[in-house]
Amino acid sequence: MYANKIICFLKEKVALEDRKKRIVVNVVLGPFTHVTIDSLKAAFDAVLANEELGRVELCVKKNEVSIKCKKCGFVTKSAQPVFSCSACKCPDFEILSPEEFIIQSFEIK
């Protein structure tokens, strides 16, 4: 679960004395994941309630995907899942940005 990954990340990176401060975590969701920004935030809040962490805010962005067609070489960029090349409709492609979930950075305020 992504929410648990964020908690583990925070426990590893945030010093004990900083856990009472406001923490903003920047997270990027890949376009192929079924997790929405709202469901991730809700899941995170539920997990956070059981942890010894202070006020943590998630700043979630949806990433674009890039696919490269194996037939014509055209690169399609989209924020939505893509299933075929937008130039020739060929379904045979290589995914150039496969990351599903990235914890980009965090800030202690």
The stretch near Zn ion (CB under 5 A) out of 17-25, 53-61, 65-73, 98-106 is 65-73
Name the strands in the sheet holding 65-69, side by side, starting at the edge strand that comes first in the sequence: 75-78, 65-69, 93-95
Q: Are the CB atoms for 101 and 27 separated by under 8 Å? A: yes
Is 108 exposed, middle or buried (CB count within 10 Å of its CB: 0-12, 13-18, 19+)? middle
Q: Of the two residues 8 and 81, which places its CB atom closer to Zn ion in the complex?
A: 81
Residue in 90, 98, 102, 105 binding Zn ion, rule: CB under 5 A: 90
Using CB under 5 A, which of 1, 88, 96, 102 touches Zn ion?
88
Q: Exactly one of 25, 40, 69, 82 binds Zn ion (CB under 5 A); which one?
A: 69
CA–CA gap between residue 54 and residue 60 (Å, rounded): 19
Q: Which residues bind Zn ion (CB under 5 A)?
A: 69, 71-72, 74, 85, 87-88, 90
